[in-house]
């Protein structure tokens, strides 16, 4: 089989590789067919095709959840004076959040807005979460940068003072990002216009 025969196509149902290798990106979540208990790794990019746009909300939620987990681990490590482990977790959380931002901007530049179609109290809750998430996501960027800068420069007393604000706000933004995704794409997916 030549590379040209294995070129991917993006259709209305998602990514599909000729030859039946991967018909739907959700096939990656199904049990293995190779008897080994896991799926062989699949490339995120095939030929000149990229990740289907419809997968970006899930990628964003995964990056937010990863950031929240790393922030939690980083907090526990610094409480136990494990400075190197704390540093690795916090820089990894920054990387996950930065990747999230890039994916988020890419998705919304190419897809636009997805509206929450439910009405009533659940819509009010969704909009309150989304509003607080969005406002704090803007506020947190300079706080994160200042916190990392102070640690990088060895100004640890000043780092600790600002980190007391940065950590809980950053954690809130990461967790509410996952909750907003869950509400929009899973809890009320049957009425959400994608």
How many residues does this entry show for the chain? 194
Residue 110 pLDDT > 60: yes
Looking at every residue in the chain, the average pLDDT score rounds to 80
Helical packing angle, 121-152 and 156-182, nearest 10°: 150
Distance of alpha carbon 174 from alpha carbon 140, whole angstroms: 11
DSSP annotation of 127:
H
Helix (H, G, I), strand (E, B) or coil at 14: strand
- How many angstroms separate the CA atoms of 194 and 189, rounded? 9
CA distance 134 to 34: 43
Q: Where are the domains of the chain?
A: 1-51, 53-187
**Beta strands, E only, the chain:** 8-11, 14-17
Residue 77 makes CB contacts below 8 A (sequence gap 6+) with 83, 85, 86, 89
**pLDDT 10s digits, 133-179:** 999 999 999 999 999 999 999 999 999 999 999 999 999 999 999 99
| Distance between CA atoms of residues 89 and 163, nearest Å | 14
pLDDT given at position 45: 52
Of the given ranges (76-85, 109-118, 145-154), which has the lowest mean pLDDT?
Answer: 109-118
pLDDT at 117: 82
Q: CA 74, 77, 81, 82 torsion: positive or negative? A: negative
> Looking at residue 25, what is its pLDDT?
45
| Contact of 71 with 167, CB cutoff 8 Å | yes
């Amino acid at each position: 089989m030549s590379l040209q025969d294995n070129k991917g196509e993006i259709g209305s149902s998602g990514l599909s590789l000729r030859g039946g290798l991967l018909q739907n990106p959700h096939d990656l979540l199904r049990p293995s067919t190779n008897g080994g208990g896991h799926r062989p790794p699949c490339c995120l990019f095939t030929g000149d095709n990229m990740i289907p746009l419809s997968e970006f909300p899930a990628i964003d939620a995964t990056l937010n959840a990863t950031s929240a987990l790393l922030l939690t681990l980083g907090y526990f490590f610094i409480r136990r004076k494990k400075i190197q482990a704390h540093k690795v977790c916090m820089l990894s959380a920054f990387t996950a959040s930065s990747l999230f931002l890039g994916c988020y901007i890419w998705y919304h530049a190419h897809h636009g807005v997805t509206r929450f179609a439910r009405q009533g109290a659940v819509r009010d809750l969704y909009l309150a979460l989304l509003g607080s998430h969005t406002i704090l996501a803007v506020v947190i960027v300079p706080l994160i940068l200042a916190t990392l800068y102070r640690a990088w420069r060895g100004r640890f007393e000043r780092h600790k003072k600002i980190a007391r604000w940065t950590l809980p706000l950053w954690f809130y933004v990461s967790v509410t990002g996952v909750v907003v995704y869950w509400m929009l794409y899973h809890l009320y997916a049957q009425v959400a216009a994608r």
